[in-house]
């Protein structure tokens, strides 16, 4: 990584067995003394740390406090209760009957089927909705756990998982409201509706020349008809993009694919793979004829939007490679009124060089777990 001279930092080369180098804050720099006291590194008794080997230094994770399950629950109880409430709302709306009463033609004036794109046969989903939602959670979570081999932080694992759940739940509630209040015809609607309108007979509907009908002409199964009226927007696509775009952002942050060096190609492949997975799940719905292409596109946009918001809500940046792996702090909440020791009540991340060293990404390529000297042009994060 390239470095930018910092007034508050003095480069001090420390060798251990002739193997490694690191850079430590200057002991008398303004604000650095307080930082070092608040965030002591392993084995350090004063600002100039004793020599460490490459492995020890890379694994030394400065933390202002140790993890406490009871403290974590009190800090995030409101979020957990809100997620449970949102889940209950989403489930209730999902089970509700379609709100709109749509009008649609069956035949044109010449007797031809008006919308053959809604006349496909009813087939089984290639990927059921429960499986799409499960994959959108399980696949990212597995990588969150695997990355703990390097990160070794239960608090980071829980925070990352909370962000994933926030993305999935928010996107799910968003799309079920659209299904309930807006809806739309699935490609197999006419097959499950089984309308009692004889072809070539007189048009007895409503609207201009009586060509429009509503669901009252349907003779098929009520629950299947209800489902066929809720094509907009795709729940599969929404869940897939909400989960896998979040994983894409996580991979980019932890592996430093778009950073200040040229990483290995396999990291780019791994980072892009979640987008491939999400797009395949969404596109499969046009093969089994459960959704129109625009239903899938709408779900993808909503899922992506929720993933971006959820990730940025929990991490210090989206694209700024210096900070996008850092979980933002929280020291107070409704059930935890007193700030955590050594943390300000505002729990703000100031995007300073010392703070950028608190958490380290998975990547070691480019010096990220050795030199750890943030530099470069900011994008959606300011400072340094």
- Nearest alpha-carbon partner for 360 in 168, 147, 116: 147
Dmax (CA) of the chain: 94
Stated as kind and residue range, the H or E segment containing 104 is strand 104-105
Q: Which residues pair with 104 in a beta bridge?
A: 213
Say how far apart CA 66 and CA 132 lie, in whole Å. 36
For the entire predicted model, the pTM comes to 0.79
Collapse the DSSP code of 323 into the 3-class scheme (helix H, G, I; strand E, B; otherwise coil) and give the result: coil
- 146 Cβ neighbours under 8 A, 6+ residues apart: none
- 131 Cβ neighbours under 8 A, 6+ residues apart: none
DSSP 215: G
Q: Name residue, tokens 């996580």.
A: 250
pLDDT at residue 6, as a whole number: 40
pLDDT at residue 363, as a whole number: 87
Say how far apart CA 40 and CA 22 lie, in whole Å. 16
DSSP 319: S
Say how far apart CA 113 and CA 199 lie, in whole Å. 9
- Written as six digits, the tokens of 281 are 């799940």
- Written as six digits, the tokens of 148 are 């703990």
Per-residue pLDDT of the chain (384 residues), as tens digits, is 444 444 333 333 322 222 222 333 333 343 444 444 444 433 333 334 444 344 443 344 344 467 888 889 999 999 999 999 999 999 999 999 888 778 889 888 888 888 899 999 999 999 999 999 999 999 999 999 999 999 999 999 999 999 999 999 999 999 999 999 999 999 999 999 999 887 766 677 788 888 888 888 999 999 999 999 999 999 999 999 999 999 999 999 999 999 988 999 999 999 999 999 999 999 999 999 999 999 999 999 999 999 999 999 999 999 999 899 999 988 888 887 877 655 555 567 888 777 777 788 998 876 676 655 555 555 555 444
């Amino acid at each position: 990584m390239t470095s930018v001279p910092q007034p508050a930092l003095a480069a001090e080369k420390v060798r251990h067995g002739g193997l490694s180098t690191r850079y430590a804050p200057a002991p008398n720099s303004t604000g650095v003394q307080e930082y070092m006291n608040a965030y002591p590194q392993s084995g350090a008794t004063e600002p100039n740390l004793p020599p460490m080997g490459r492995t020890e230094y890379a694994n030394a994770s400065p933390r202002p406090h140790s993890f406490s399950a009871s403290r974590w629950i009190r800090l995030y109880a409101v979020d957990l209760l809100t997620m449970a409430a949102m889940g209950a709302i989403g489930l209730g709306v999902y089970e509700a009957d379609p709100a709109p009463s749509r009008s649609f033609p069956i035949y044109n004036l010449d007797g031809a089927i008006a919308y053959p794109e809604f006349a496909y046969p009813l087939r089984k989903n290639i990927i059921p909705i429960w499986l799409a939602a499960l994959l959108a959670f399980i696949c990212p979570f597995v990588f969150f756990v695997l990355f703990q081999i390097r990160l070794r932080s239960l608090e980071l694992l829980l925070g990352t998982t909370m962000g994933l759940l926030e993305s999935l739940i928010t996107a799910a509630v968003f799309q079920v409201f659209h299904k309930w209040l807006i809806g739309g015809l699935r490609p197999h609607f006419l097959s499950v509706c089984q309308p009692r309108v004889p072809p070539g007979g007189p048009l007895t509907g409503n609207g201009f020349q009586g060509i429009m009908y509503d669901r009252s002409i349907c003779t098929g199964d009520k629950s299947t008809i209800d489902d066929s009226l809720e094509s907009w927007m795709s729940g599969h696509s929404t869940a897939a993009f909400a989960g896998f775009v979040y994983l894409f952002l996580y991979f980019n942050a932890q592996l430093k694919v778009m950073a200040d060096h040229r990483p290995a190609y396999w990291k780019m492949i791994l980072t892009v793979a979640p987008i491939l997975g999400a797009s395949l799940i969404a596109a499969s719905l046009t093969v089994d004829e459960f959704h129109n292409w625009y239903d899938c596109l709408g779900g993808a946009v909503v899922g992506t939007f929720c993933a971006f918001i959820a990730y940025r809500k929990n991490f210090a940046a989206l694209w700024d490679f210096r900070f996008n792996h850092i979980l933002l702090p929280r020291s107070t909440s409704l059930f935890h009124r007193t700030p955590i020791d050594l943390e300000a009540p505002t729990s703000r991340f100031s995007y300073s060089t010392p703070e950028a060293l608190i958490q380290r990404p998975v990547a070691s390529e480019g010096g990220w777990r050795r030199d750890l000297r943030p530099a470069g042009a900011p994008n959606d994060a300011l400072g340094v």
